[in-house]
């Protein structure tokens, strides 16, 4: 065989092997049972336009995406339309108050808070999201915690009717103060639950971030079950490190099973920096859903 014929044959063999590998991957995806946990993955893990990233998420068999900044995307309407075609859900939209600068724990900020909720609602509607994320702001020095909690209750009551009219929910995020966000006000899941119960509006819930709550209090499964009626959204990452499951101490098969057992069927969103290629991360996420 001459060199040209050899190269042609080698190229044909390589192409055939690639086609077989792709075919096997596609077959595996088709044979895989649908995820019981509605895992929202980060579109930043993929390349191309926002629409192309959504298409890749759908092709991998995941039902949703989340990045809190998606409300700022210029192509929100195009993304919403493609999500509707593919059956992909959009996770939470951020942009309401801050972690360290200001927040509705101070009643003086309530007007500003309401305006930001209105903008977040508009952004969420444009991209097709059903939830917006709110931050409490930093704890106020020299002010009783009860007074600050009451300020958050009042803030939630102010925006509850706006959210309900729009068909959206707002979730207050609890954050840890031991590692990532010293000085933040809303920390423990018991506080998040209390805030929701006292606000007493169906459009106001709290976000249980599994990574943050593992640092703040542990006892994840018991707290998820105890406060499930007040939880409106989940974020997750492993601890320590805030990377993908398997890099730390949290047993995500057991945690996802516990979430499912509460009857929660909404989104559980990735919020971590990955240490492995995207394909491997997606396989890890599938494994987290394979409890018995």
* Residues designated as active site: 173, 271
**Closest listed residue to residue 94, CA positions, set 189, 16, 172:** 172
- C-alpha 51/C-alpha 29 separation (Å) is 21
- C-alpha 151/C-alpha 139 separation (Å) is 12
Residue with tokens 């099973």: 257
Within the chain, residue ranges assigned H as helices are 3-31, 50-59, 76-86, 110-127, 145-166, 189-199, 210-216, 220-226, 252-261, 278-288
> Cβ(171)–Cβ(196) under 8 Å?
no
- C-alpha 233/C-alpha 134 separation (Å) is 12
Residue with tokens 């009860």: 146
CA dihedral of 254, 284, 286, 131, whole degrees rounded to 10:
80
């Amino acid at each position: 065989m001459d060199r040209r014929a050899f190269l042609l044959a080698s190229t044909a063999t390589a192409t055939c092997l690639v086609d077989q590998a792709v075919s096997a991957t596609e077959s595996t995806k088709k044979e895989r049972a649908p995820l019981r946990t509605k895992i929202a993955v980060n579109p930043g893990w993929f390349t191309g336009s926002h629409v192309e990233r959504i298409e890749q998420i759908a092709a991998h068999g995941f039902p949703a995406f989340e990045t809190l900044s998606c409300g700022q995307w210029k192509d929100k309407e195009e993304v919403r339309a493609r999500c509707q075609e593919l059956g992909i859900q959009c996770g939470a939209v951020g942009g309401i108050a801050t972690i360290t600068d200001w927040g509705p724990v101070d009643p003086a900020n309530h007007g500003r808070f309401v305006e930001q909720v209105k903008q977040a609602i508009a952004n969420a509607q444009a991209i097709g999201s059903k939830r917006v994320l709110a931050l409490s702001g930093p704890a106020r020095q020299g002010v009783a915690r009860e007074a600050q909690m009451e300020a958050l209750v009042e803030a939630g009551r102010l925006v509850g009717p706006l959210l309900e009219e729009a068909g959206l929910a707002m979730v207050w995020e609890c954050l840890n103060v031991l590692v990532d966000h010293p000085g933040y006000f809303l920390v423990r899941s018991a506080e998040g639950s209390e805030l929701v119960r006292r606000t007493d509006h169906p459009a106001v819930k709290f976000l249980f971030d599994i990574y943050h709550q593992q640092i703040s209090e542990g006892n994840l499964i018991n707290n998820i079950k105890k406060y499930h009626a007040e939880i409106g959204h989940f974020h997750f990452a492993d601890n320590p490190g805030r990377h993908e499951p398997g890099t730390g101490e949290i047993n995500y098969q057991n945690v996802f099973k516990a979430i499912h057992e509460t009857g929660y069927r909404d989104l559980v969103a990735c919020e971590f920096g990955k240490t492995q290629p995207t394909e491997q991360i997606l396989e890890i996420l599938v494994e987290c859903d394979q409890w018995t």
